Amino acid sequence: MSTSKAAPGSASGVTSRAMLTVRGFHLDGYGHVNNARYLEFYEEGRWGYMLAHLDLADLKREGIAMVAVNVNLDWSYPATVHDELLITTRLSHVGRRKMIMHQEIHLGEHRMGEVHPRSGVLVSRADFTFVLMNTASGRAMPLDGEIADMLRPLVAEEEA
């Protein structure tokens, strides 16, 4: 199984970044991003991370799926229409049975072509817990052997 696209043995791990712009259909009746939309924003960030650093086709051929089993999400600041959002994604923990992806959303540098006065402000943070599932049996798998050896170098510490 050769599922890692990251440099092997990297001591610093991997952090992925994705940008998106808030659109009118993302908003709730109060004029800021609806709470459920954040799950979609975070998923966009995770897909970018996984496509850049994991061979998803290889995992599928091996009969392995990454399945979310828990999410903890905190909101700090309301995002509104036209805000540019920066989503960071990193693998923060790989244990024997689960892994945790830590994600944050910050206001981007710009809003409608102008410098955003609140650029860099933390909008939200979330921790997503995943297990590996054997797709044939539908049961969780241990994170050991080759797959653990591939995932552990991706773990990134919190950035200062």
* Active site positions, annotated: 28
Inter-residue contact 24 to 100 (CB < 8 Å): no
Of 89, 99, 34, the residue nearest 65 (C-alpha): 99
Inter-residue contact 32 to 77 (CB < 8 Å): no
Q: HEC string of the chain?
A: CCCECCCCCCCCCCEEEEEEECCHHHECCCCEECHHHHHHHHHHHHHHHHHHHECHHHHHHCCEEEEEEEEEEEECCCCECCEEEEEEEEEEEECCCCEEEEEEEEEEEEECCEECCCCCCEEEEEEEEEEEEECCCCEEECCCHHHHHHHHHHECCCCC
